[in-house]
Structure formats: structure tokens, C-alpha cells
Structure 1
Amino acid sequence: MSGIDLSANMLDGEIPWELGNLSHIKSLNLSNNLFVGPIPATFGGMEEMESLDLSHNELSGPIPLQLTQVSSLGVFSVAYNNLSGCIPKSGHLSSFGMDSYLANTNLRNITQGNACAPGPDPVPEEHVGDFDDPVLYAITAAAFVLAFWATVGFSFCHRYGRSVMLKL
């Protein structure tokens, strides 16, 4: 088996540390779940890992330094979690863009003096809850009803629509 994709399965609890024993896995996608707690340090033993996506969970704590030992990583994302501490400067993790770390408000970059600088920008407040807007739902429902009745009206009132309906 070369990869495991358990994304968007509403999995919760802590990520099992035993997954780190799967040393020959090349891809692990646990994104869009409800995982909490730390990233298992055992993931540093997954030496053949090429892609690791832990984004869109509720993970907390620092990024384990053991992950810097995975030199084969080409894709890495821990965006949209609750991680804290510093983004490791050593190893391969420092080569990933800030998109890999987005929306972790307590995660910081390491500066030249080994101090943590402000991290990636959090999700702008204006976009939080965009999908809970009742006006958006009302407009969508009204558009659906209007489109439905326009189709029915065309089918029964227009000459071409009637001819199509009669052929069915």
C-alpha cells in the first residue's frame, strides 16, 4: 500500500501514534476531520513519506521536531488547525510555503536570533461564518423556486415546450 486517504470522514479524537509505524507509506491524508491533540512524533519515522496532509482539523501543540527528519516530503500541510510554537527551521519543513501553515494563530516563524516571529496570517474575520448567512439561504431558495416555475411555465405555456412535453 502506498497511501492512506481518510480525509473528510468526521474522524475524531487524537491521531493514533501507531500510524507512525507505517514506515513505507508514501502518502497520508487525514485532512478535514475532527482530530484533536498533538501531531504524533512517531510520524518522523515515516522515512518514505512524500505527502502529509493534516489540514482542517483541530490539532494543537507544536509541530514535532521529528518531522524535520522526513526528507522525502514534497507536500505538507497543517493549515487550519490550532498549532502553536515555532515552525521548525531545520530540515525539510522550512522549505514549504506559508500556505502549509495558514490559520494557526499561535504558530510562529523562527527568526535569525532563534526567536519566534509572527506566523502566517489567520483567516480574515470577515470570511468566518460566511456559510451561516440566512440572507444567502433565502436568495438561493428564491432563485431555485423562480427557476423551477420558469421551467414549468415554459414547458406548458410556450408552443415549443408543449410540443416537447407531448412527445414524452
Structure 2
Amino acid sequence: MALTDRTHEAHSKLNYLQIDMGMAYHQDTITIISKGLEVELVKILTIFTAIEFSCNNFDGPIPEEIGEFTLLYILNLSHNAFTSQIPASLEKLSNLESLDLSSNKLYGNIPIPLADGLIFLSVLNLSFNQLVGQIPIIKQFATFSENSFKGNIRLCGLPLKSQCSHEEPRLSSSTYEEFHRSIIE
């Protein structure tokens, strides 16, 4: 598959998606949302690698196999009904420049390997999900604004205004006494 195999990369440069019918040809066009902007592509290079499946009512988990599409530059799965954690396999998308998973039902923490692996990411939108915990502030993730994370009421840390609580759970007085008694004995 061309999205995973770099050997096809050199052969596809400057070729456009079109059908040659002798004296005439048909040239495909497509409208995608890339980096937050709606863009109509008239001449589509065959090396252009994007998945734009927004607004399709897809549900269930995001397929782990998407992490195998290592030549992806844009991944937009927004405005669906995905109900899973963000797959850690997305960390393998090291060429990714735009990731939009907004307006789904994703839950759990943002995987640290994801923040560590996506070093070319210039657009991130994880807003309006059910994500929890502290936002990893490493590499590219340290550059994103509050808008990238808004609408996740249990998400905390910079750039959000809600700070994470690092307090240890408090023990009841009887548990506290038993704990200290065991140390003395």
C-alpha cells in the first residue's frame, strides 16, 4: 500500500490523479479540511497522503491499523462517534502535520508516546471528547493552544486554565493509625 511503503514515493513524484482518455482527460478534484481550513484540491499529487473521514458517524474504536500509514500528512477523523482511547499506534505517524480527532467520544489519557512521536505536527485538535488527566507538554504538544484541548472537562494542565491536582489520596483516621502502628511494630 502506498501509504506505508516508501519505495513507491520516488516513483510517484509530480504525478497527478487523472484519467487519460486519448484526446481528453478527466482530472479529479476533492475538498478536504486541512489544518483547520477547507481546501479544494484541483490537481492532486499522487504523493499527497491524507485521510479525511470527518462527519461520517463512524463509531467504536479508532483502528490501530491507521498507525501503519506512516506516510500520512493529514488525519481528520473529527465529528464522528469514536468511543475508545486514542490508539498509541498513532505515534508511528512521524510525518503527520495535522491531526484532528475532535468531537468524538474518546476517553482516557492522551498517550505520552503520541506526544513524543509526532514531531512535525503543526495542527492538533482533540477538543470536545472525554479525555482525562494531564496534557503531555513535550515536543510539539507544548506549542498548542487551549483550543486544541477545550471541551474535555477532566483534562488538566497547560495550556488549559485548570491545574492538575497532585495530592495523594488522604487516608481515613483508622487507616492512618493502622499504617503507623505497622511501621512501629
Q: Given the alignment, which residue of 100, 117, 120 partners 2:163?
A: 117
Q: Given the alignment, which residue of 22, 27, 34 partners 2:74?
A: 27
- Secondary structure in 2 matching 1:117: coil
Counterpart in 1 of 2:129?
81
Q: What is the Cα deviation at residue 94 of structure 1?
A: 1.5
Written as runs of structure 1 = structure 2, the 5 A alignment for 1:111-150 is: 117=163
User: Structure 1: 5+ residue runs without aligned partners?
Assistant: 119-168
Counterpart in 2 of 1:94?
142
Q: What is the CA deviation profile of residues 100-131 of structure 1, one whole-angstrom value per residue up to 9, with x for unaligned ones?
A: 000100101169xxxx815xxxxxxxxxxxxx
Q: Given the alignment, which residue of 54, 58, 79 partners 1:7?
A: 54
Question: Which has more radius of gyration?
Answer: 1
- Secondary structure in 2 matching 1:43: helix
Q: What is the Cα deviation at residue 25 of structure 1?
A: 0.3
Q: What is the Cα deviation at residue 20 of structure 1?
A: 0.7
Q: What is the Cα deviation at residue 37 of structure 1?
A: 1.1
- Secondary structure in 2 matching 1:44: helix
- Alignment partners' CA distance in 1, 2:106 and 2:132: 10
Q: TM-score, normalised on structure 1?
A: 0.65
Give yes or no for contact 1:28–1:52 (8 Å, CA) kept in 2: yes
Aligned residues: 114
Q: What is the CA deviation profile of residues 145-164 of structure 1, one whole-angstrom value per residue up to 9, with x for unaligned ones?
A: xxxxxxxxxxxxxxxxxxxx
- Alignment partners' CA distance in 2, 1:40 and 1:61: 10
Written as runs of structure 1 = structure 2, the 5 A alignment for 1:32-47 is: 32-47=79-94
Structure 1 residue ranges (4+ consecutive) displaced by more than 6 angstroms after TM superposition: none
- Alignment partners' CA distance in 2, 1:77 and 1:94: 13
- Secondary structure in 2 matching 1:63: coil
- Secondary structure in 1 matching 2:90: helix
User: Structure 2: 5+ residue runs without aligned partners?
Assistant: 1-47, 165-185
Q: Percent identical across equivalent pairs?
A: 36
Counterpart in 1 of 2:153?
105
- Alignment partners' CA distance in 2, 1:48 and 1:40: 17
Counterpart in 2 of 1:17?
64
- Alignment partners' CA distance in 1, 2:54 and 2:105: 14
Q: TM-score, normalised on structure 2?
A: 0.59
Give yes or no for contact 1:67–1:93 (8 Å, CA) kept in 2: no
